[in-house]
A and B are shown apart, each in its own frame.
Chain A
Amino acid sequence: MAVNVQTIVGDRIAKYVNRLKEQRHATEAAVVRELVEGGYEQVLRQLHARYQRGEMTFRAVAAELGLSVRELYDLFEQKGLPT
């Protein structure tokens, strides 16, 4: 399920988006989407690392990401991250 989100970004991020747009001949939406997905990936890997270190439970990671236990199991599997 995809959702359409409108947001305002700061000046520095806007400059970075513009640079990437020109560099890659991509749309603004594609560049922003890539940045958001990159940020999500980073959050996911940080939470996974905390889970692996025993700092939080699997269910706490799922709750943090707004996912069910089964959805998180699937996401970890897709990313090649162990449970």
Chain B
Amino acid sequence: MDLWDATSLITCAKFQVDGRLVLDSALDVAKIVIPTEVQQETVDAGLVGGYPDAMEIKTRIDARRIEVRPAARLSTPFEEVLDLYGLQEGDKAVVRLSLQATDADATITDDRLLLVVLRRCGREALFLPDFIERAVADSIFDASIGMRLLLAIRPRLPAGFIEHSLR
């Protein structure tokens, strides 16, 4: 099981390879778990804004392919550290759940600061291209599918990220 952050989830719910959402390929790899806050950011706010990706995520939550879990507050000193980083409520929910979900293999995020915080908390954190690379390394995707998935999400990733994964 992997824990997912909002922007990576939205990207996967927007782009397709051969008419199939990247999100469904991601679900082939491992179960996706999101904090309640990420559901609110991607589905609740997304539906209000009329974004089709919000409905795609909702459909998979309703089908129990994506699990939504609440995250409890951490100790006060640790919460203060998260505040010092300038983390917002959704960021903190991702960190909290990452620390509390002992069944999570990794947290998938595109957020550089959040990735640093997660790693400093001793949690495995992956950028979305690294998640795809891991699936290829684990033989869940063959190299050709991995390459096509990477190319599909390329418009939303910073220069260098996809090129790095392709080499």
Q: Which residues of B contact A83 (CB under 8 A)?
A: 7, 11, 110, 156-157
Main secondary structure on A side of the interface with B: helix
Docked-complex contact A70 and B88, CB < 8 angstroms: no
Q: Across the interface, do A82 and B49 meet the contact criterion of CB distance under 8 Å? A: no
Contacts of B97 in A (CB 8 A): none
Residue A25 at the chain B interface, CB threshold 8 Å:
no
Chain B contact residues (Cβ within 8 angstroms of A): what range? 20 to 34
Q: Known contacts being A57-B88, A70-B10, is A52 close to B112, with CB within 8 Å?
A: yes
Q: Please provide the chain B residues from 113 to 154 with a CB less than 8 Å away from any CB of chain A in the complex.
A: 113-116
Give every chain B residue within 8 A of A60 (Cβ-Cβ).
86-88, 91
**Which chain B residues (15-68) contact chain A, with CB distance < 8 Å?**
41-42, 45-46, 49, 51, 54
> CB < 8 Å: which of B10, B42, B111, B159 contacts A57?
B111
Please report A residues at the B interface, Cβ cutoff 8 Å.
51-60, 62-63, 68-71, 73-74, 77, 82-83
